[in-house]
Amino acid sequence: MSVFPFGVAAWLLLTGIYGIVTSRNLIHLVVCLSVVQSSTYVLLLAIGYKSHAAAPVFLNVPLATPAVDPVVQALVLTDIVVGATVTALLLGLVVQTHKRCGTLDPEALQSLRG
Amino acid sequence: MDLLPPLPVVIPLLGAALLLGAPRTMRRQIVDGVALVVALAVLILCVVLAMKTSSGRLVYWFGGWKPRELGGRPIALGVSFSIDPLGAGMAALAAGLVCSALVFSWHYFKEVGNLFHVLMLVFLGAMVGFCLSGDLFNMFVFFELMSVAAYSLTAYKIEERGPLQGALNFAVTNSVGGFLLLTGLALLYARTGALNLAQIGHALDGTHLDGLVIVAFVFLMTGFLVKAAVVPFHFWLADAHSVAPTPVCMLFSGVMVELGLYGVARVYWTVFEGPMSVHIPQLREVLMAMAVVTALVGSVMCLLQHHLKRLLAFSTVSHAGLFLLGVALLQPKALGGVAIYIAAHGAVKAALFVCVGILLDRKGSVDERRIFGRGRDLPFTGVLFMLGGLALAGLPPFGTFLGKGLVEEQASELGLWWVPWLFVAVSAMTGGAVLRAAGRVFRGWGEPPEFDPTSLEEGHEDRETGGASTRTRLVMLAPAIALLAAALVLGILPSVPQRAVRGAVAFEDHRGYEAAVLGLPAASRAGSPAPLGSSFSSVLLGILGALLAVTIALIALFKHLLPEAPVEWVRSRLSPVGERMRTLHSGHVSDYIAWLTAGVAALGGLLAAALR
């Protein structure tokens, strides 16, 4: 088991957050949020991964055959659905923001403070 | 098999699907009626569940997949609902608030078809599922479903700038929180190979705390604390509240924020109590520190607000701090107190939002300077608003006072003498802010405000009802009366404290939870708690809090009558602090995420140092 995928997950998390913090464009910001979420995909898949193991389909193979963990794969699928929902909703809000305010720069939106 | 447990989640989701599929031309009364009937059914089911579980936990395995034993270890194959009185009680609170919000919004949003009701029902189903779930991943899924419904509801008035920006801030911050939650969950799965709360807890029992478990704990806690609006994760809350439609605010403040704390408590006691029980004093200190900062920041910001929804939002932040403080004592009596406090606060806060909604309907603004003195023709709403302010300050015999009293007693027993005073001060400040606003708006007390009516410093809000109403409709007033009455009943019914504390004992019973869910031999430590009643000193503290709130309100209203020199001195000392705090709440989601990251790092550092 390699440390590499966990490093990738941590890197995705941190770059995504860095992107959100420094973003000057709302679409860029929403995509950065997706990057943060990708880190959870990588992390989950890495946790369930086994070297030299088959896909978890036990058709015509003995039950003791090593296989990767199917549970985390199901979690990743659910996670992707959650991510798609959130991203779609946010992009919808961004489109609407552009219609109303004519800008995508978060610094230029000043209707809430204090 | 008993089919009762999944029903309160299935019914609202089916109801939502039904309303979504219904023709857009369907009569508005039918849509309202269906949604209300569904919410009422959920309320009744949740109350039944809370009653049924008072004698023992109810565990429901979806598809009948019961846990099996493998190599001497229990394995939860399926997904469970593990229901206890506090969980079912939170679900009932959510359902009750949805009912009153639906009654209040009877005349709302005429032009937009059924979508509002659909979202409200999805929101309800997700909240109930979150409360009943016994599976960490399912908690995450319900949590996200609840969040997405909440984001859409916040941005319901999609034609305006404020709601768009508020919803964006809310959605981005809470999504990051949700992903951290998922990361923590994944780390726990890596360690234990389990997703069922009881099985994770069982696998961690008897192990030593190590770095991985602490990191997982920090991520899970952060995920929930973002929702619970604990400083420094709270910034989204005021933005979302100040722009969301009033019926939605009732749910956000009344129950959604508190569900974050429910998540903290649930996960701590089922999963982490085993390895963490030796570190309780250190853990208590870290959580209490966050709670105190939250309570103080919330109450100071609350006093600084003029926008009534924002004012109530910051009062929710400060109360979330108080709830977290009660949870952080890690004792059944305090947790029982918090449960009562949350229920009563939810009712009172929702009633206050109803009053604000009536103001918005009648006067077209919720800025206390803009509608200064214009609420004189709404005497009844004014009385309800003031009562709400006093209840928020903990006036006996409201339920807020009862819950607060139990937490205070527990804190005193632990030797934390300052906790009761903090509770009194913080609840008096938030209550005082509400009373001050009530005095200005409904009575026209104090100096008329000097400000340029064309400057729209804070999010301008359009009427939500289309056209000014000339009279207050009974369906708008009735929820406020009912909610305040409910808060009063909670404080008066003699069986409430006993039931709450018994529920809290069951909630904190780590071994009992594992045994009931995994089918292990019962090794419950749950005894029946000593009889409870509100003590004389807590009554005194409650009255003191209410008096203090009135004093704060009077000083804020009539400071121009006081001698000028001391007032000026205090103002010159305090206003820079206030200004600085206001600028920190910048409205930029980038800043919020920076704060969130710093908060995670700080919490992780503190816990790593404290628990090693």
Asked if A82's CB is within 8 angstroms of B144's CB, the reply is yes
What average pLDDT does this structure show over B358-370? Answer: 86
From A65's Cα to the closest Cα of chain B, the distance in A is 18
From A60's Cα to the closest Cα of chain B, the distance in A is 23
Give just the sign of the alpha carbon dihedral B388, B391, B395, B398.
positive
- Does the pLDDT value for residue B112 go beyond 60? no
Asked if B176's CB is within 8 angstroms of A17's CB, the reply is yes
The confidence score (pLDDT) of residue B253 equals 93
Residue B590 has its nearest CB partner, among A21, A30, A89, at A21
Q: What is the DSSP letter of B470?
A: S
Pick B437 or B363 by higher pLDDT: B437
**Residue where the block lists tokens 């005073």:** B421
Asked if B137's CB is within 8 angstroms of A47's CB, the reply is no
From B154's Cα to the closest Cα of chain A, the distance in A is 11
Asked if A78's CB is within 8 angstroms of B459's CB, the reply is no
pLDDT tens, position by position, B398-421: 999 999 999 999 998 888 999 999
pLDDT category at B188 given cuts 50, 70, 90 is very high
The confidence score (pLDDT) of residue B529 equals 59
Q: Which residues of A touch B451 (CB under 8 A)?
A: none
- Does the pLDDT value for residue B433 go beyond 50? yes
Task: Please tell me the pTM assigned to this model.
Answer: 0.94
- Residue B346: which of B438, B462, B235, B257 has the closest Cα? B257
Please state the ipTM of this predicted complex.
0.95
- Strands B73-75 and B68-70 come out as antiparallel
Helix axes B495-507, B332-363, angle to 10 degrees: 120
Asked if A86's CB is within 8 angstroms of B189's CB, the reply is no
Query: What are the residues whose beta carbons fall under 8 Å from the beta carbon of B345, sequence distance 6 or more?
Result: B254, B258, B319, B323, B392, B400, B403
Asked if A89's CB is within 8 angstroms of B148's CB, the reply is yes
Residue B182 has its nearest CB partner, among A17, A79, A106, at A79
How much of chain B, in percent, has pLDDT values that exceed 70? 93
Asked if A109's CB is within 8 angstroms of B165's CB, the reply is yes
Question: What percent helix, strand, coil does chain B show, rounded to 5?
Answer: 75, 5, 25
Lowest mean pLDDT among B299-303, B365-369, B460-464: B460-464
Amino acid symbol at B313: A
A 10 A CB-CB count for A52 gives 5
- Does the pLDDT value for residue B528 go beyond 60? no
Helix axes B308-328, B280-304, angle to 10 degrees: 170
Dist CA B594 CA B600 (whole Å): 10
Q: What is the mean pLDDT of chain B?
A: 89
How much of chain B, in percent, has pLDDT values that exceed 90? 58
- Strands B80-83 and B58-61 come out as antiparallel
- Strands B73-75 and B58-61 come out as unpaired
Q: Is B113 left (phi over 0), alpha (psi -120 to 50) or beta?
A: left
What average pLDDT does this structure show over B71-82? Answer: 88
Lowest mean pLDDT among B301-310, B333-342, B463-472: B463-472
Low-confidence ranges of chain A (pLDDT < 50): none
For residue B60, give the H/E element and its range.
strand B58-61
Q: Which residue of A has its CA nearest to B78?
A: A71
Asked if A94's CB is within 8 angstroms of B168's CB, the reply is yes
Query: What are the residues whose beta carbons fall under 8 Å from the beta carbon of B54, sequence distance 6 or more?
Result: B85, B499, B502, B503
Phi then psi for B320, rounded to 5 degrees? -60, -40
Phi then psi for A53, rounded to 5 degrees? -110, 155
- Does the pLDDT value for residue B453 go beyond 60? no
Q: Is B575 exposed, middle or buried (0-12, 13-18, 19+ CB in 10 A)?
A: exposed
DSSP B251-268: HIIIIIHHHHHHHHHHHI
The confidence score (pLDDT) of residue A44 equals 94
Quick check: A75 contacting B, CB < 8 Å?
yes
